[in-house]
Every structure is written in C-alpha cells, then in structure tokens.
Amino acid sequence: NARKRLATNKYSFVKFLPRTQCLTPRETLVNIQRNKKGDTGFDMEKFHSEEYQRTFQYLTQFIANGSNLDTFSFIYQPFVMIGDPVDALKIIIKYCGIRDPSWAELYHFVNFLNIQLRDCEESVFCNPLLVGDLLQGFRTFAVRFMIQMSRDFATRSLSDNNLGVEDASRADEDDDLAPFQIRRRWELSPHPYIFFNHDRVSMTFLGFLLSQEGDLLHPGTNRVLEQRLMEPTLRGQLKLQGVDFDVNYENRDRMARIENLCSVMGIEYLHDPDPTYELTTDNVEKILAIHMRFRCGIPVIIMGETGCGKTRLIRFMCELQAGPDGPKNLLLMKVHGGTNYAEIEKKVEDAEKLAFFNEKIKVDTILFFDEANTTDAIDLIKEIMVDRRVNGRAINLELTRLHFIAACNPYRKHTKEMIKKLESAGLGYHVSAGETDDKLGSIPLRQLVYRVHPLPE
C-alpha cells in the first residue's frame, strides 16, 4: 500500500498544476527571517493600519517599560512607518496567547486589543493628566489587563489536531473528532474582564478578585492568574474611590447585574426583560462576551447540549437591548437536516429588512442559527458569519448593527454499548457502518449522539 501511494504521488498530474500555499503567521515569520524568496510575507497595508500600529506600539512599550505605561500616548501617522514588520509579527504572535495562531486568530487579538486600548485612551480614569495624583499607575494596570483579556477573546474553544489519543485502536476515529472537540469549556476557564462603559466615564470590573499584594485571582478558587498585576498602592487608592476588589460579584443582587449589563452595552432604560430567567454571573459574562465579540467583528458560535439554555440566553440579551415594549430584534432559524441554501438565504434577507428599521433607532438585530451544524448547508452559514456574504452577495455594509450567532450541537460519539443496541434494533441500520457514505471522516454520522456535519475552518 505504501509503495502504491508513493508511485501514485510520483506520477500524479496534480503536481504540474499551479499551486497556492497558505502559510500561518509563524511560518511566514520564519520565511521572512530566512530571506526566503517567492513568499508574500507580512501584508504591509495591515502593518501600517491603525489597528496593528496601536497594538504593536503598546506591546513594544510594555516590553520596554512594562511597569509604567501612564505617560505613553499613541499617535497614528498613516504614512509614517514606525517599527519593523518582522518585530511586529514576532511580538504579536508572542502575546496573542496561541502557540501557532491562524491569521484570523491573530487579527481577532489585534482588533480586540486595539478597540480596548482606544477606549482606554478615551477614558478619564486612564488620563494621567486628570487622575495622575489620585490613581497613579492605573493606566498601566488597565493596559496589562487588556492584553490578558484579549488573549481570552482571541483563543477559540475548539480543539486542534495536536491532541493525543488514549486508545490507539481508535486513533483514526479520535483524529476525525479531535478538531471539533471543546479545547476549553467556558465554565472551567477564568474570564477576568474590565469593560469601559458606553458613557466612557465609568468602568465595570467583572470575574476576578485582587489580593492585597495586587495578584489577579480567580473568584471561585482564589487561584493566582497573574502576579502583581496591580501595585498595592494603587489598590489602596482605588478602594478610597469606592472600588472594592474584595467584594465577590456572586454576592450582588439581580438588578445590580442588570445595571452592569446596561452600562457596558449602552442601554438607557434599566429593566428586567424576563424575571424568570436565572441571571447568574456566568450568564452575565457570556452576554458581555457576545456583545464585545459583536463590537470587534469576532464570529460568535455557541456549542452546548440541546436544552442547556443557549436560545434563552440570546433571547434575554435581545429583549434587554430592545427595551420595554421595544421592537422585534431577534430572528430565530431552527436549522435541521433538511434546511437548504434557499431557506437560509431567505432568512438573511428577512434579517436585513428588520435590521434596516432597527438601525434607525440604534437597536441591534440578531439572526440566530440554532443547531447550525445539522445541515449540509453549513458552508453558507460560515460565509454569512465570517465573510458577511450570502452566495457571494455582500450583506449591506451600512447594517453595522446586524449580527449573526450560530449554536452548534457537540461532536460526540455514542458508546460501544449504545451503538450495539442501536444496531440490534435495526432502525436505520440496514446498511452496514462500513458501507455508508454518510460519515464525519471515518465515523458514520448515525454513530454520533447528534447527527452533525463538520464545521468549516
């Protein structure tokens, strides 16, 4: 078999066809450092952009003088080249928190950090000329925190192909499922957040505690996430200003949590859209994480078991944003195995019409694809969410408040005992597992707990 494959590759006509190879940022960096000819390299237009320049210059200052960033000010000069592209790529890869990031993950890190840093520059709390005497070092703390927070938003939750397998006999099947496994579960990962509120004169602290020494702590376990993130002197100054990092957010009442949501999301009318909804700290963090991903153009995909509360979370978020007796701003599409391209395209057109009206009154519109990975038209949903196109047609660029969310069922195989029971029942098993073409890699779809299709990269 090995000889046959070698002979086939040797005489294959494919090698004579033109070929375009996509390189990761790390591979691009290696080629640039080796002066390898023929490769495109780092996009200079992106390097000169405000997003990359602000991120690069702040990270450079952080490396050179991380203990004091209060006096650093970023001034964007479009036609002035500051720094070296190789250094920029090297530094951004190092701080994005991903060992071998894709270009999309790198861009999400840069874009999120850029927006947070821009908000930081506009905040009165981070202006040393206004609060330098009262909050010395606060801007340095905020920038360091923004870097930590941006890593969380840039890292996707799906696993990669480098995971090991426990059972060698099932290695091929495990490899087929590995790219779709959850790399990190939301509930088990820390999510320390600082949000610059919509009014730009207040801030929201969420999901962390600070020790007396200034260490960043996980609120549930008191595990140290980062040492000496804040100077003890600054911590004392903030306490005098009414910011107490000893108070656990879990102890706050429901209306205080809703007030935090409204402050960050820029919602004027404080109200509880659904008193029956359990608004836990975890759900508050999820809503704010979705909101920030919308703001930064990061695709939102929620993965969880059927009935775990995905739809209700999105509905609560939309009703809160719409306000009391507000307009309709959520379109729900129940995706299933029979959903086709035309139905998805029609739903997007409906969402565009609704968003056109809501845009005038400054209300977000969300099209929610529930159980998106149950249809073989998943590639169109990917095009809509990532490229903002529908069968090649660009979605109206003026609809900046139109957002898309996809909820996916998990990729999990039945146990051997359950597969044996299903096969013995005979329902749908008249074709043997080895002969069926309906597979995810080498695994028949019917052996999965949910009949799902692979997510496009």
**Quick one: pLDDT band at residue 181, thresholds 50, 70, 90?**
very low
Q: Give the residue from 246, 227, 149, 248 showing the smallest Cα distance to 189.
A: 149
Amino acid at 226: E
Higher pLDDT, 422 or 117: 117
Taking the C-alpha atoms of residue 394 and residue 207, their distance in angstroms, rounded to an integer, is 38
Angle between helices 254-265 and 281-296 (to 10 degrees): 0
pLDDT at 216: 85
Question: Taking 70 as the threshold, does the pLDDT of residue 422 lie above it?
Answer: no
Higher pLDDT, 426 or 380: 380
102-150 pLDDT, tens digit each: 998 999 999 999 999 999 888 888 888 887 778 888 888 889 889 988 9
CB burial class (10 A; 0-12, 13-18, 19+) of residue 101?
Answer: buried
Q: Which of 98-112, 365-379, 441-455 has the lowest mean pLDDT?
A: 441-455
3-state SS, residue 443: strand
303-332 pLDDT, tens digit each: 877 777 889 999 999 999 999 989 999 999
Q: Where is mean pLDDT largest: 37-41, 64-68, 182-186? A: 64-68
Buried-state track 151-161, b at ≥16 Cβ within 10 A, e below 16:
ebbbbbebbee
pLDDT at 202: 80
- Whether 308 and 408 have beta carbons less than 8 Å apart is answered as no
Backbone angles phi, psi at 138, to 5 degrees: -70, -40
Amino acid at 413: K
**Quick one: pLDDT band at residue 455, thresholds 50, 70, 90?**
low
Q: Give the residue from 39, 25, 22, 45 showing the smallest Cα distance to 90.
A: 25
Counting residues of the chain whose pLDDT is more than 70, the rounded percentage is 77
pLDDT at 213: 87
CA 169, distance to chain mean position in Å, is: 34
* Residue bearing tokens 């159980």: 371
Global pTM? 0.80
Residue 103 backbone class (left: φ over 0; alpha: ψ -120 to 50; beta: rest): alpha
Question: How many C-beta neighbours within 10 Å does residue 175 have?
Answer: 14
pLDDT at 309: 85
Taking the C-alpha atoms of residue 167 and residue 397, their distance in angstroms, rounded to an integer, is 49
pLDDT at 38: 61
- Whether 139 and 69 have beta carbons less than 8 Å apart is answered as yes
**Quick one: pLDDT band at residue 250, thresholds 50, 70, 90?**
confident
Complete DSSP assignment for 393-431: EEP-TT-TTEEEEEEE----BPPHHHHHHHHHH-TT-SS
Higher pLDDT, 362 or 155: 362
- Whether 368 and 405 have beta carbons less than 8 Å apart is answered as yes
Output the CA–CA distances (angstroms, integers) from residue 222 to 192, 219, 252, 257, 369, in the order listed: 12, 6, 18, 22, 37
Question: How many C-beta neighbours within 10 Å does residue 2 have?
Answer: 6
CB burial class (10 A; 0-12, 13-18, 19+) of residue 103?
Answer: middle
pLDDT at 388: 95
The answer for residues whose C-beta is within 8 angstroms of residue 256's C-beta and 6 or more apart is none
Taking the C-alpha atoms of residue 147 and residue 114, their distance in angstroms, rounded to an integer, is 10
